[in-house]
Structure 1
Amino acid sequence: MSGTWFITGTSSGFGRLLTEQLLDRGDRVAATLRRPEVLDDLRVAHGDRLWVERLDVTDADRTREVVDRAFADLGTIDVIVNNAGFGVFSAVEEATDAQIRSVIDTNLLGSMYVIRAALPHLRAQGHGRILQVSTAGGQTTYPNFSFYHASKWGIEGFCEAVAAEIAPFGIDLTIVQPGATPTGFGGALVSGPVMAEYDAGPAGDVRRSLADGSFTLANDPVRICRAMIDMVDGGTAPLRLPLGSDTYEHVRRALAARLEEHEAHKDVALSVVREDVADSA
């Protein structure tokens, strides 16, 4: 089933692979990235089925301009994929203020800008899909990734609320949660100066596991992209789509632990209800 997709962050990783798979099967792709020249090979191979534009999603005005132009040039766009993002790999005191701002601006605010820019067009056409690429780390956490988690937990909360708001317009939203995958993401991690105090603890343990290869990257990026396409083709629209054995197991454990802790505080939670409300319940 062919269609038209708008994808951010297409220079590498999931964005590049999605673009390749979609073009190979005959879809049209509006690909955005900060360095358009890296897609020159795909432009040569696929001609006008590939629409390319320079975009840094942290620029709200530019994001609106590019999204508006894509709809104007291509007409209907069926799927919006928010994929652009990166990770800050530092313990809480190690990252610089600029690094913190950058990851929030890109992963959280940038994704919001794209969604807000696309929605007027999706409402006007009366249908559409939004795929927000998150991670297992949007529902669970690992030491040394606190700022990355802040951006991903934030965008998941935003998207969960937005999904309910836009459902009456015939627009679906799915949060896609890939697990650890060899996409080059690790090589693009931004780090601050290591502090000995944190390196001796859990943050250092995670750093060392990535450095020595014991942190397993068990998932296939090609299969992850295929699963995203198959979900759209199949017409299903879950709020969240976990992809990877680590995502499934780690998020399941995190949710179970949160529920157990939640239930443990039931009595104190109910103890603060106003008596007049409790009596009328």
Structure 2
Amino acid sequence: MEIALEAQGLGKRYGKTWALRDCSLHLPAGRIAALVGPNGAGKSTLLHLAVGLLRPDAGAVRIFGESPYDNPELLPEIGFVAQDTPLYRDFTAAELVALGGRLNRRWDGALARNRLAQLGIPPNLRVGKLSGGQRAQVALALALAKRPLLLLLDEPVASLDPLARREFLQSLMGSVAESETTVLLSSHLLADLERVCDYLVVLNAARVQLVGPVDELVEGHRRLVGPRHDGAPIPGVTAVVRASHTARQSTLLVRADGPVHDPDWTEQDVTLEDLILAYLADGETPASHTAWEVPA
């Protein structure tokens, strides 16, 4: 199995504050992965480390087995759309496509032009006069024109309206299906991620909390409703992720290694949103001290 992105004990510090700490994860090639976490969790830091814009203060990050910071030859294999979709606003989309051809040794200008034409984006209008959704589509088209093996997107749809978000994600899915590019997509919009992503990385409090294939992560967790829990072990439960209590009843979101057969507990399936919110609720939950990873 080829690994597109690998981090081992990765950390980045600003002064005395760790923006990212003890980050270890594997992203298999060919996946469309969601990178989820609250503001300040370290998502942008991880992405900037992965493209070599930052140097790690601890650990290492590798793209297809190589360090992006120490190996500039790796950069043509990576496409990156930053959070504010930075583009030269005085350039037209057509001029940016032409510029990309001059700056990248492997460049598919026809792909970029065709995508922009399909989306109805005026090629000769200055980028600064385009809408936010159109600028995001231009940035995506430029990133895809590199024909990257790994595409990193830092909250590219955060400022878009629902229609523009849907168009952007449909455009992304179509391009990825054609090229088999590995994608790591950072976003707060859980419903959008659930539609397009098959792999999940959850960051909270500067650490990885959860990582693995979406289906296996969801299948490995349950919601249990039953008598007030006193902390005693429950057969089949490996960890309690979150718990809420009333005077007589407890509701637990748990990791389970199989069905929970205790008749005192009613077992319910969880959704991807349930799972993500449970791991984001508190950076100091028992489950967060060691990231839970499902082998891909």
Q: Same fold (TM over 0.5)?
A: no
Q: TM-score, normalised by structure 2?
A: 0.29
Q: TM-score, normalised by structure 1?
A: 0.30
Q: From the two aligned structures, give the one with the greater strand fraction.
A: 2
